[in-house]
A and B are shown apart, each in its own frame.
Chain A
Amino acid sequence: MAIKRVLVANRGEIALRVIRAAKALNIETVLIASSVDMDSEPARLADRVLNLGPGPATQSYLRVELVMHAAIAAGCDAIHPGYGFLSEKSELPRLCDEHGLHFVGPRADTIDALGDKLQARALAKQNGVPLVPGTDQVADVKTALAAAEQVGYPVVMKASAGGGGKGMFVARSAVDIESMFDSATAEARQAFGDGTLYIERYVENARHVEVQILGNGEGEVVHCLDRDCSIQRRYQKLIEEAPAILVPQHVRDAMQAAAVSLASGMHYKNAGTVEFIYDIDARDFYFIEVNARIQVEHPVTEVVTGIDLVQEQFRIAAGEGLSFNQADIAASGHAIECRINAEDPARDFVPSPGRIERWAPPAGEFIRLDSHCYDGYLIPPYYDSMIGKLIVNGEDRAHAVSNLAAALAGFELTGLNNNIALHRFIADSNAFSDNTFTTKWLENVGLDAFKQATA
């Protein structure tokens, strides 16, 4: 391996995950830690630990110059950013280039292009990836009616000049447009000084589906199938699974091909995820964005494909290319991941840091647990509330769901408010076991039912 010593620029479970992958490849590990993380599980496992700065991330993990200084001073030849923190800040790969270090992630220009929403959409369009069907600005009711007819009802009308729901309305038929167009225009004009509206297809029943890709940076891209991450709360994913079996096979094929086309077109390097919204009624998919990093939910893909994505990241960064071809990728069984969060269900799931009394996760043949927690561990208040991921698999989705319910039943976590009871409730619900939920199910139906059941 061309990489000898990596700086792990993260904390928690992903730091642990990256350190283990590096060790498997005989790469030495140097972990940077804030002063409150010096006593953590990843700090124990790393070959060397450097105290970077105080607890708040803005004084430690988010200070790119401190991270770079530590990497150079410790003689590292690579930096792995994990997810979050500096993972999608192009300054870090740029500094790595300047100082001759390998960045275990995409190139700086890729991160910049994909971080800009308009540029990312333009790239998608250019590479044949479908966007939500819509129109440019519509001047009056007559053009709006013609455009809506072309896009297909239901449609959503939005203000060109701004967001926040001002001037926005959903139209299910021509009557809705006729009755609401003028007032929406007036509302937009009042809010933004510009009353111009445009039209998009309204996706009423959606799934969040995404394709895992790996690129060598020279145009060769393979995908590692897809994931379905539709159990969400406030746009935060809570449960993710692989593969995305609800989507018909021919649509999945087209979606995977679109993801590869987009990544290949921009000579994407390293691991990334192309996110789509899947319209259940129209049986069609549309581009959302590309996440230029390893994602929280990568383990479900690893479990069903047998590929170690983090090790592949190191191979790509070291210039060794991938260890497999597209033809080698196939799904075996089904995997589901639950994000275990330190948050308080009784107080609208606000982050709830504190000291873990007992941490006794389930273990067994179908279970993988990615976490840095242990008995007596103090969850610091400065960081994300996600404290672990329970990943359960089965020969098919039904078996995975029943294994998940059993695993959750055996998960003992005390001393700290957490969302395990909510996961148990979801795993036991019909919408989940029947795979009939949408991205809005948890917020609109599931949470109320959970509150009633636990009241």
Chain B
Amino acid sequence: MSESVLKDIETLIELFESSDWSEMKLKTAQFELFLSNDPNARNVISETSTAGLARPADVPAATSAATASAVEPAAAVVSVPDGHALVKAPNLGTFYRAPKPGAPPYVEVGDRVEIGAELCLIEVMKLFTAVKSEVAGTIREICADDAGLVENDQALFLIELDA
């Protein structure tokens, strides 16, 4: 997480404390932030995206919202190191790494991607939608299986941001 992002978060917390709001949730490409005045507040964001973010002691910690499945376990939680971003599925669907069967994948681990680069396809009832990168960096991990079902918000790629 860069210095400027941490500054932004500090400012947001100050603004929240001086407001009469009881809850705030913010989601960007790099982080999700959940603030609440209620000590019993139950979480709304997943651990994955808040890892590495130090929270002031007076802000209740977010807990995981991931609900385990009894039939098949949900995808493992991916931790996001500093200076990295996760690309997540925008909705439920089938994850495809290549534009068509037999073709080379859009990206491999180690590839550098620009903002707007196509990373994969998500298919819903034969309708294919490309997922594009919102950051520039290097693919460090491919977190989902090719041709497998992915859920909304599931981690697809871990990208190390350009310095």
Contact = CB atoms under 8 A, between A and B. Distances in A.
A69 B93 contact: yes
A237 B69 CA distance: 36
12 contacts: A38-B66, A39-B67, A50-B151, A51-B151, A53-B152, A54-B91, A60-B91, A60-B152, A65-B127, A66-B124, A68-B125, A69-B93
Given A51-B152, A53-B92, A66-B93, A30 B71 contact: yes
A32 B93 CA distance: 12
A331 interface: no
B44 interface: yes
Contacts, number: 79
Interface stretch (A41-49, A133-141, A167-175, A288-296): A41-49
A39 B93 CA distance: 21
A27 to B, nearest CB: 13
Interface in A253-280: none
Contacts of A307: none
A302 interface: no
B43 interface: yes
Contacts of A35: 152-153
A90 to B, nearest CB: 16
B124 A49 contact: no
Interface in B55-100: 65-67, 69-72, 90-94
Given A47-B70, A51-B153, A376 B42 contact: yes
- Report whether over half of chain B's contact residues are helix, strand or loop; otherwise say mixed: loop
B92 A66 contact: yes
Contacts of A355: 22-23, 38, 41
B67 to A, nearest CB: 5
Interface in A14-51: 28, 30, 32, 34-36, 38-39, 43-44, 46-51
B151 A69 contact: no
A378 interface: yes
A283 B75 CA distance: 62
B109 interface: no
B92 A51 contact: yes
A65 B71 contact: no
A216 to B, nearest CB: 30
Looking at chain A, what size class is its interface with the partner chain?
20 to 34
A47 B44 CA distance: 22
A49 B152 contact: no
Contacts of A59: 91
A51 B154 contact: yes
Contacts of A49: 67, 69
Contacts of B93: 66, 69
Contacts of B153: 35, 51
A35 B154 CA distance: 11
B70 to A, nearest CB: 5
Contact of A73 (B38, B91, B149): B149
A304 interface: no
A60 to B, nearest CB: 8
A41 B65 CA distance: 13
Interface in B29-69: 38, 40-44, 65-67, 69
Interface string B97-124: 0000000000000000000000000011
Nearest to A34: B152
B71 A48 contact: yes
A340 B41 CA distance: 23
A65 B124 contact: yes
A86 interface: no
A52 interface: yes
Interface string A56-77: 0001100101101110011000
B92 A50 contact: yes
B23 to A, nearest CB: 8
A69 B92 contact: yes
Given A52-B91, A65-B124, A68-B125, A376 B40 contact: yes
Given A38-B67, A66-B92, A48 B72 contact: yes
Nearest to A39: B65
Contacts of B149: 50, 73-74
Contacts of B72: 48
A64 to B, nearest CB: 9
Contact of A69 (B42, B67, B94): B94
Contacts of B43: 39
B69 A48 contact: yes
